[in-house]
Structure 1
Amino acid sequence: MPNQPRERGVRGAGTVRVVSAKDERPIRVRWEVWVSLPDGEKKRLSGNVSHPNNPAHAKAAGRRALELAKAKASEQRQNVADRFPDMRMSELLEQWLELRAMELRPKTLESYQSVIRLHVLPYLGTKRVRAVNIDVLTEWQQLLAQTSLQRTRVMAHQRVSQALEWAVSRGIISSNPALNRFTKPKKVQAVRQLDVYTEEERGQLVAAGRSDTGPFGMMTAFALVTGMRRGEVLSLKWSDIKGTVAFIHDSMDAQQRSDGTTKTKAGTRRFPLSSVAMKLLDEQRARQDLLRQRAGPLWTETGYVFTTGEGKPQWADNWSRAHARLCRRIGVRHLTIHDARRTYITHALKNGASEETVASQIGHSNTVLLARTYRVTLAEERARVIEVMVPGF
């Protein structure tokens, strides 16, 4: 026997229908109703009830369950309205950022704050959280598309979606309008040539860094000959170095000193040090011994390889500024400290190092990210190898 037709009634009243076969026992009834959520969206609620042998009693039980669901939805709307009647997006984002600040790395938190300040608050900051729906978000993304890069749009959408999801978990709204039907901006994987130092520029910077009387030149030289991340250089301790191997497991960065893990799941890893890197470390140890003598009782023994004149850890932003000054002084174009890492990786690949070896050393858990980031370099190297193997006529 086919299922019985749905009841037709007042819009929003819901439906109750028998879904079991004619002679089937117990008699099963399904109820369905669309309810309004606190943020204005619609949601379908449904359920099943049964009665041993009486269809009328089964349908009555289904109607009671339906009305109970409607009452709970109404109560939820009222509770949210009472608790957060006028919460604005600016307030929500501020509370969410305060919570995330306890678990994010300083530089990551800084990027979150920047994206929200520049690309979210000017458009959505004054809107009530409950008034933010698919139409509002779509209009916001269309406005961003006129002035912002694709990557910025993606990042801004991610931050708003995460904040709204947190609002759902707190009961401020009942669903996240940034999910599901909202068309999110697509990530674009651009193929581009990375900015790296040439071999000549790299040699000039290493030489200038070794002769620099300040504390940061040697750090730049070390980054160029090892490919370590900025935070890994800052976090390197003498106790991490065993013979010609460094064990990388800490990362400090930005304006807050904190020990953390590497960016990938590779975790603590063995980092083979070249003879050039070992020579730089010997020179740095001699420099630090001299600094320790000069500081006397003001010296703080922290164990870090690269320190201030009193033995304390260096600040990442100070290093970046000093690196820019060093580039200007010797007439080399200014690239970032992270570009020093890219320089090492690029030249290692061009000089014949395998993708697996380089990925393992620099802390990538596999070669996928390496291949995607350095696809132009790898393509050029493969073309060169083919040219050698199959010379032209």
Structure 2
Amino acid sequence: MPEAAPRKRTKAPNGAASLRPYKGQYRVKVTVAMTGGRQQQVSRVVPTEAEARLVLAQLLTDHSRGLLRSPHTLTVEALLGELIAIRRDEWKPKTLANNEDLIRLHLAPHLGPLKVQKLKPQHIQQLYLLLARTYSLSLLRQVRALLRQALQLAVVNDLVPRNVAKDVELLGARVPRRVKQNRALSPEHLEAFLQAAAPFEEIAGPVFHIAGLLGLRRGEAAALRWEQVDLGRGLLHVRDNLVVVRGRPTPGTPKTEAGDRTVPLAPETVALLAAWKVRQQALGVMVGTKWIDSGHIFTTLKGTPFHPDRLSTLAREFGTRAGLEHVTFHGLRHTSASLHLARGVPAEVVKTWLGHENVSLTLNTYRTVYSHEHRLHVTGMSGLLQQGPDNLTLDGVLRVGA
């Protein structure tokens, strides 16, 4: 019996779709008919099967309406739009708004009309050179990171074979000369700053005292509520963060996963907060019907939480009143880290109190070594030759006290 001729592989019909597992995720494909009998497949890769079914339904709907673009017609601006749509629920509000602004102001005007498959490294390099004339290295890095994410999405979805932005360097970017500037205040300067802020804290709460002590971010301090402080057990829970999105305070979560933390309070701090709680209630009675019981610890005279930008402005003002330059609210966070480390608190503990992801950030970025620490450990050769850290410490203490 003669062998049957091999069946000729037929093209998938226009609109044919598939959903299959792909490297631990799920890939959806829809066939799109092109002019001249050619075909292209539009694919998407998503984490879960349920999401894949939703994406498949949307692709088929778009195809039936004639809205489904083939890879050859997808523009950079459309690709960036797809990235925003996919990451919208994943990014924090401030990150989302910042990335939308980067696309609107910098990427879409220069690269947006280009087809993704026609985008070349030289196009990207020209964009970087153009932006470098006006903008900082930080902004260029943000633009590069966003463009790389979008093009990596195109690679995963089989729209392009490689990420052409991956190896393009930021040539022409102005690298600022790094001037070592201690952001942390010394104990004497912190005391002077808190004295300048004392009249304000009498009616608004010890916000700068707590920020300087615990290293809270400004948004964390503004969002802090009484329900997140356990005065009986001496614990403060950082759960929320009031971020500024296009000028408006927006409720959110701490900056990182480690930022959601619980910090122990000293009896002195518990007493301070307890006294302020009583005083705040009395102020609310004095204000009367205009008082808004928002539940926040640090509030305006109306009882509402502070705009984070307002806290930054006040920090600068009180620094000026204290005769100090370059005082910032975030500098209080550096101050908290440096003073705790200077008094011997383990770096791992300080890292947890500040909500850092890793201890290297605490030590390399937030740590200021004060001049008195250098003097504390100075020694002569005889002390250096002695064995054991106890002898060395004793020698340093004796010299300081002499």
Verify same fold: TM over 0.5.
yes
Residue 121 of structure 1 deviates from its aligned partner by 4.4
Q: Which moved further from structure 2: 118-127 or 150-159? A: 118-127
Which of 139, 148, 153 is the matching residue for 1:152?
A: 139
Equivalence for 1:21: none
CA 1:283–1:106: 2 relative to 1, 3 Å: farther
Name 1:250's counterpart in structure 2: 240
Q: What SS is found at the alignment partner of 1:271?
A: strand
Alignment of 1:134 with 2:121, yes or no, is: yes
2:295 is aligned, of 271, 292, 303, to 303
Deviations 1:275-298 (A, max 9, x none): 553354234324411331033334
Who is 1:108 aligned against?
A: 95
- For residues 67 and 116 of structure 2, the distance between their equivalents in structure 1, rounded to whole angstroms, comes to 11
Name the SS for the 2:324 alignment partner: coil
Gaps of 5+ in 1: 1-52
Could you say what the CA RMSD is over the residues aligned between the two structures, in angstroms?
4.4
Per-residue deviation, residues 306-334 of structure 1 (Å, max 9, x unmatched):
12333333221222233333333443324
Give CA deviations for 1:81-112 in whole Å, capped at 9, x if unaligned.
97378765456546654664544333333433
Instruction: Name the structure 2 match of 1:357.
Output: 349
Q: Alpha carbons of 1:233 and 1:81: their partners in 2 closer, same or farther (altered >3 Å)? A: closer
Q: 1:222 to 1:237 in 2, by over 3 A?
A: same
Q: Could you tell me how far 1:237 is from its partner in structure 2?
A: 1.9
The count of residues paired between Structure 1 and Structure 2 equals: 330
Aligned equivalent of 2:69: 83
Alignment equivalent of 2:226, drawn from 215, 238, 251: 238
Q: 1:104 to 1:215 in 2, by over 3 A?
A: farther
Establish whether residue 320 from structure 1 lines up as the match of residue 305 from structure 2. Answer: no
Q: Deviations over 1:122-161 (max 9, x none)?
A: 5334545454233312332344455544443222111122
Contact map agreement 2:240 2:252 (CA 8 A) in 1: yes
Does 1:265 pair with 2:253? Answer: no
Shift of 1:358: 0.7
Q: Is the CA contact (8 Å cut-off) linking 1:306 and 1:313 kept in structure 2?
A: yes
Q: Secondary structure at 2:345's aligned position in 1?
A: coil
- How far did 1:211 drift? 1.6
Structure showing greater Rg: 1
Please give the TM-score of this superposition, normalised by the length of structure 2.
Answer: 0.65
Deviation at 1:210, TM superposition (A): 2.1
Amino acid at match of 2:168: T
Partner amino acid, structure 2, of 1:222: I
Farther-moved stretch of structure 1 (360-369 vs 339-348): 360-369
Structure 2 gap ranges (5+): 13-30, 43-62, 385-394
Find the aligned partners of 2:138 and 2:335 in 1 and give their Cα distance. Answer: 24
Question: CA shift at 1:340, angstroms?
Answer: 1.2
Greater CA drift, 310-319 or 222-231: 310-319
Q: Is residue 344 from structure 1 mapped to residue 331 from structure 2 by the alignment?
A: no
State the alpha-carbon separation in 2 of the partners of residues 143 and 299 from structure 1. Answer: 52
Q: State whether residues 209 and 219 of structure 1, in contact with CA within 8 Å, keep that contact through their aligned partners in structure 2.
A: no
**CA distance in 2: counterparts of 1:155 and 1:345, whole angstroms:** 28
The corresponding residue for 2:286 is 294
Q: Offset at 1:355?
A: 0.6
For the residues of structure 2 that align with 1:325 and 1:284, how far apart are their CA atoms? 23
2:189 to 194, 198, 201: 201
Residue 378 of structure 2 aligns to which amino acid in structure 1?
E
Query: How far, CA to CA, are the matches of 2:153 and 2:236 in structure 1?
Result: 40
Separation of aligned partners in 1, 2:351 and 2:182: 17
Give the alignment partner of residue 277 of structure 1, picking from 269, 274, 279: 269
Distance 1:219 1:281, change over 3 A: same
Percent identity over paired residues = 26
